[in-house]
Structure 1
Amino acid sequence: MTKSYLRSAALAGLLVMASCSTNGSDAPARDDTAPEVTARQTNLPTELPPMRAFTSGAVLPVSRSNAAIAADFLDLSFELESGRALPVLSRFEGPVTIRVTGRAPAVLSDDLNRLVVRLRNEAGIDITRVAPATDASITLEIISKAQLQRLVPGAACFVAPNVASWSEYKSKRGTADTDWTAVRERSRMSIFIPGDVAPQEMRDCLHEETAQALGPVNDLWRLSDSVFNDDNFHTVLTGFDMLVLRTYYAPDFHSGMTKDEVAARLPGVLARLNPGGGSGAPVPASKTPVLWKQAIETALGGRVPAATRRVAAGRAVDMARVMGWRDTRLAFALFVQGRLNLGVNSDVALASFREAEAIYGSTPGNRLQAAHMGVQLAAHALSMGNSATAIRIADAHLPSVQNAQNAALLATLLMIKAEALTLEGRVTEAQLVRLDSLGWARYGFGSDSEVTARLNEIAAISPRSRG
C-alpha cells in the first residue's frame, strides 16, 4: 500500500480552493494564482521550535459486533489485496523478534519502541526488539525513497515474506519464495521503509507494515476504524487492529489452518477476547464491486489525465449511490471527487466535502475522517474572510486529530486557526497557536523547507495576503 497518498491528497489543494472560491469561476492551479508569501510575512520564527512527537494516544474501543468482526477477520486473513485467495492461515509460531537495519532516524527508533510495547500489551504478541546484527523474525530495513521506487514504483513502503534484507528481496523478487500464497508459516519477514521522508510517513509505514508482517496482508474498503483500509485515513494501529492481531495469535489457531477451520473456532475466540461484542457466526459483509474499486484506483492514479480522474471519481460516487451505501465508501468517493475538483469547480468541491463530512460525522468512530473534510472547509472559510467559522471548524476537529496522532493534519488545522485569529486582531493568541503548529509540522512534514512552505501556503489563503 502507498502510505503517502492520503497525506498529500487530504492536505494539498488548499490554495486552489481559496483561489477558486474568491472569484466565483474556474481557476488555474494554485501555482499560477497564489501570491508569494515570505516567512517574514507569516511571522515565522528565526528558528523553528523543537519537533513534537506523540508519546501515546487513547485507543478507541471496538464498536461493531463480533459477528461483523468475524467476517472482517476472514476477509482480511484469507485474501490478498489483488483478490487472490490465501489457502491457509500463516503466522509466526513462538516468540517474535524485530530489528532495524540501515540508517534509522532516532525518531523512528522511538516510534518502534512504542509500537512494540503496544503490540505486547494490546495484541498479546510476544515480540521483542533486538540488535541490528542479530537475526530476527522481522527485519525493518531503512533505504532511500529512490531505491524503493526504482524497484516498486508508486509504493511508499511494503513488506515481503521469506527475506531478511533488501538485497535478498531483489534477488528473490518474483519467485515462489516471495509469493504470499505459498507461505504456510512465517519465519522471516522484511519491511522496507524510506528514511528520507517525513517522520510521520515513516511511522505510518511502520505501523501498517509491521501489522501485515505479523497478521493479515489484505485491505478492505468497508473498514472505517482500521489501518487495513486503502483509504489510509487511519495511520496508527487502532483498537480494532489490535483485536484482529490478538485474535490472529490466539492459541486456538495455528499456521496451516484453512478458512473453514478458522471460521469454526472464530466465534468462540472473539466471544472470549471481546465479550462486549456478543457471539455468533460470521455475517457476510457487502462486497465492494470490482468496478467501484477500479473507478477509485483510476481517480487516484497520478499518471492519468486530470479530466479522466474526475470522471472516474464521479462514477465512483454514482455507483455508491446506486448501491445504496451511506458508509465510508460513499464518503471516500465524495472526498476524492471534491479534491479533484479543487480549482476546477468550486461548487462540486465544496458540496462533496460537506456531504462527506456529514456522512463521516454521523458514523461512530469516524471523527478523524470528518477532520480531513473539515480542513478543506476551514480553509475555504478562511479564504472568504469568515474567521469565526474557520476557528469553529478547526476547534471541532482538533481533539480527534490529536487522538489519532496525525501531526500533519493537526499542524495544518492549527495554522488555519492562527491565520483566522490574526484576521480577528487576536495577534498574540495567533502567534502562540502558530508556534504550536510548527512543532507538529516538523514531525508531520519533515524538513524545515516543507514546514515553511506549508505555513506560506496557509498564509496565502488569508485575505490579508491579498490586502
Structure 2
Amino acid sequence: MSRIAILALAALAACSPAPQNVAATRAAPLTSILPAVKTFAAVPVRTVSRSNTEIAQDILDLSFRMESGVPIPFLTRFDGPINVSVQGDLSDTLVTDLDQLLSRLRREANINIDLTNSTTPQIIVEAVPRRILNAAVPRAACFTVPRVSSWAEFLRMRRSETVDWTKLTKRDRAIMFVPSDVAPQEIRDCLHEELAQALGPLNDLYRLPDSVFNDDNIHNVLTSFDMLVLKAYYSPELANGMTRSQVAEKLPSLLSRLNPSGNRVANAPENDTNRDWIDAVQTALSGSATPSRRRAAARQAIQIGNAFGWGGTREAFAYYAHGRLQVGNDQRRALADFDAADRIYRANPATQIHAAHIAVQRAAFALTAGDADGVIALANGAIPLARDHQNAALLATLMMFKAEALSLQGNDAEAEAVRLDSLGWARYGFGEDRFVQARLNEIRALRPF
C-alpha cells in the first residue's frame, strides 16, 4: 500500500488556474515569529455506512489480493501482543503521532499493540531521508515489507522471496519505511497507512469511499471502517492460514457481532475495478508521463468507468484527476470536470471530505475571478470537514483562500487573523517555513489586480 508520491495537494500550482501577468512582488510575507505547530485532538468514531454484506466483500477483496492483482493464498496476521519500535532519523512529531495511533488501535480495533524498547519487536518503524528512500523505490512515499529489520537488510533482500507477502503463512516481523525529512502530516499519513498494511490487508480498492485502503489518498488517517476491518482481522474467529473461502464463511456472523448496525439489506454489489482503469489513473497521476499522455490517460479512466457504469468515488476521482490536468490547458474543461466531481461527491454523505478537496480547486477559480463571496462560501463549507478529517494541509489552504477573499472585500483585520490562524496548521501540513511561504504566495498570486 505504498503511497503514490504525487498527492492531491502536493503543489497548488499544478491544480489551480494559472495567473496571468502576476507581479513577482505580490508575496504574502510570513510574520516574523510563526505560531507553534498545531495538532489535532482525537479522531471521531463514526458509524460505518455500508451493510455487513458489502463490508465482508470489501474485506475479502482487500485481504486476498495484492495491489498488483497477484492472489494471496492465506490470511496472515500477528499472533499475541504486538510490540512496535522506532529507529532512524526520527522527527519531533513521529513518536507522538505513532503513540496516538497505537492508542486508537487498542481502543477501536481491540489490538494488543504498544511501543517498546525491545530489541526483537514485531514491527519496526524506520525513518529514512526521502532521497535515499526514493532512490530505492522511486514511486513510493513510504512502504512496508515483511521479514526484515533494517533498511540495510531490505536493500540486500529486496529482490528475494524473503520480502514477498504472498509467501507468508503467518506474520512475525515487518518493517515500515517512512520519510524522515518531510512535513509532519506526511509522516503521520504514512504511519497510518503503512501500519494498517503491516497489521492487516495488503490491497487497495478504489471503490471504497471511507478508507485509507484506497489509492486516491483522500483519507489521511485510519477511518472507523478501517478500524472495523482491523478489528475483524484480529478477532478470535479468524486465524493464520485461513483461505478466502474459510474467511468468507466466518465473516457474516463475525461482522454481525462487531457491527450490528450493518445487519441490513445490502446495496447491489459494485463491479471490481479492472487493471486498465487502475493503470490509466496511475499514468494520469504519474510525473513521468508527458502532460498530453496524462490527460489522455485520465480521459481513458472516465471512458472505462462510463462503459462499466461505475459511479461514486471512481467516477468522481477520474473527473477530479482530469480536471487537475486541464488546469493551464483548458480552463473551461477543468472547471466542468471539478463541478462534475463535486456533484458526485456531494451526493454521498461518505464522500464529503472528497468534496472539500474539490472546494480548493473551485476556490482557485473563484479567487481568480475576484468572487470573494464565492471563495468564502466554499472555504466555510469545507474548513470543518478538513478539520474533522485531520488534514492540516487542506485546512491551512482553505483558510489561506478565505484570508485572501476577506482582504479582497477590504476586511484586512479579519483576513490577517484568519491567515495567522492558518500558519500553525500549515507548519504541520507543509513542514518547513519556505513551503508555508510558497503556499501563501501561490494563493496570493491568484488574486486579480
Normalised by the length of structure 1, the TM-score is: 0.93
Pairing partner for 2:152 from 167, 173, 188: 167
The more displaced of 185-194 and 167-176 is 167-176
Q: Kindly, what percent of the aligned residue pairs are identical?
A: 48
Q: Which aligned pairs between 1:338-377 and structure 2 lie closer than 5 A? A: 338-377=323-362
Is 1:184 aligned with 2:169? yes
Q: Distance in 2 between matches of 1:178 and 1:157?
A: 15
Q: Structure 1 residue 367: deviation in Å?
A: 0.8
Is 1:17 aligned with 2:9? no
| Aligned partners of 1:387 and 1:423 also within 8 Å | yes
Q: Structure 1 residue 45: deviation in Å?
A: 0.9
Q: Which aligned pairs between 1:400-439 and structure 2 lie closer than 5 A? A: 400-439=385-424
Normalised by the length of structure 2, the TM-score is: 0.97
Pairing partner for 1:230 from 211, 215, 218: 215
Q: Structure 1 residue 352: deviation in Å?
A: 0.3
Q: Structure 1 residue 456: deviation in Å?
A: 0.8
Q: Structure 1 residue 295: deviation in Å?
A: 1.4
Q: Which aligned pairs between 1:194-213 and structure 2 lie closer than 5 A? A: 194-213=179-198
Question: Residues 60 and 324 from structure 1, CA distance in 2 versus in 1: closer, same or farther, beyond 3 angstroms?
Answer: same
Question: Residues 366 and 283 from structure 1, CA distance in 2 versus in 1: closer, same or farther, beyond 3 angstroms?
Answer: closer
Q: Which amino acid aligns with 1:407?
A: A
Q: Structure 1 residue 255: deviation in Å?
A: 0.4
Q: Distance in 2 between matches of 1:13 and 1:209?
A: 27
Q: Residue 100 of structure 1: SS of its match in structure 2?
A: strand
Is 1:109 aligned with 2:95? yes
Q: Which amino acid aligns with 1:312?
A: A
Pairing partner for 1:460 from 417, 421, 445: 445
Q: Which amino acid aligns with 1:13?
A: A
Q: Distance in 1 between matches of 2:112 and 2:3?
A: 28
Q: Which amino acid aligns with 2:403?
A: A
**Equivalent residue, structure 1, for 2:24:** 36
Pairing partner for 2:313 from 321, 328, 340: 328
**Equivalent residue, structure 1, for 2:6:** 5
Q: Structure 1 residue 59: deviation in Å?
A: 2.8
Pairing partner for 1:82 from 58, 64, 68: 68
Q: Note the alpha carbon deviations across 1:320-348, whole angstroms, 9 max, x for none.
A: 12222221101000000000000000011
Q: Structure 1 residue 285: deviation in Å?
A: 3.6
Q: Structure 1 residue 18: deviation in Å?
A: 4.5
Is 1:313 aligned with 2:301? no
Q: Which aligned pairs between 1:243-392 and structure 2 lie closer than 5 A? A: 243-278=228-263, 285-392=270-377
Q: Structure 1 residue 283: deviation in Å?
A: 7.6
| Aligned partners of 2:12 and 2:442 also within 8 Å | no
**Equivalent residue, structure 2, for 1:30:** none
Q: Which amino acid aligns with 1:341?
A: Q
Q: Residue 140 of structure 1: SS of its match in structure 2?
A: strand
Q: Which amino acid aligns with 2:17?
A: M
Q: Note the alpha carbon deviations across 1:405-441, whole angstroms, 9 max, x for none.
A: 0000100000000000001111111011000111100
Q: Residue 98 of structure 1: SS of its match in structure 2?
A: strand
Structure 2: runs of 5 or more not aligned? none
Q: Structure 1 residue 170: deviation in Å?
A: 1.2
Q: Structure 1 residue 223: deviation in Å?
A: 0.5
Q: Which amino acid aligns with 1:174?
A: R
Q: Residue 35 of structure 1: SS of its match in structure 2?
A: coil
**Equivalent residue, structure 2, for 1:26:** none
Q: Distance in 1 between matches of 2:267 and 2:335?
A: 39
Q: Structure 1 residue 57: deviation in Å?
A: 2.5
Q: Structure 1 residue 319: deviation in Å?
A: 1.8
Pairing partner for 2:225 from 233, 236, 240: 240
| Aligned partners of 2:12 and 2:439 also within 8 Å | no
Q: Which amino acid aligns with 2:317?
A: F
Q: Which amino acid aligns with 2:64?
A: F
Q: Distance in 1 between matches of 2:152 and 2:141?
A: 18
**Equivalent residue, structure 2, for 1:99:** 85
Is 1:122 aligned with 2:108? yes
Q: Which aligned pairs between 1:43-82 and structure 2 lie closer than 5 A? A: 43-82=29-68
Q: Which amino acid aligns with 1:263?
A: A
Q: Structure 1 residue 34: deviation in Å?
A: 4.0
Q: Distance in 2 between matches of 1:12 and 1:231?
A: 19
Q: Note the alpha carbon deviations across 1:243-264, whole angstroms, 9 max, x for none.
A: 0000000000110011111110
Q: Note the alpha carbon deviations across 1:207-230, whole angstroms, 9 max, x for none.
A: 000000000010001001000001
Q: Structure 1 residue 38: deviation in Å?
A: 5.2
Pairing partner for 2:132 from 147, 154, 158: 147
Q: Distance in 2 between matches of 1:244 and 1:174?
A: 30
**Equivalent residue, structure 2, for 1:28:** none
Q: Which amino acid aligns with 1:211?
A: A
Q: Which amino acid aligns with 1:425?
A: G
Q: Structure 1 residue 50: deviation in Å?
A: 1.0
Q: Note the alpha carbon deviations across 1:16-74, whole angstroms, 9 max, x for none.
A: 5153xx7xxxxxxxxxx5432455xx253112111111132223220000000000000
| Aligned partners of 1:271 and 1:279 also within 8 Å | no
Q: Distance in 1 between matches of 2:24 and 2:403?
A: 19
| Aligned partners of 1:71 and 1:283 also within 8 Å | no
Question: Residues 173 and 283 from structure 1, CA distance in 2 versus in 1: closer, same or farther, beyond 3 angstroms?
Answer: farther
Q: Note the alpha carbon deviations across 1:329-384, whole angstroms, 9 max, x for none.
A: 01000000000000000011000001101100111211110011111101111111
Q: Structure 1 residue 287: deviation in Å?
A: 1.0
The more displaced of 299-308 and 68-77 is 299-308
| Aligned partners of 1:98 and 1:140 also within 8 Å | yes
| Aligned partners of 1:390 and 1:417 also within 8 Å | yes
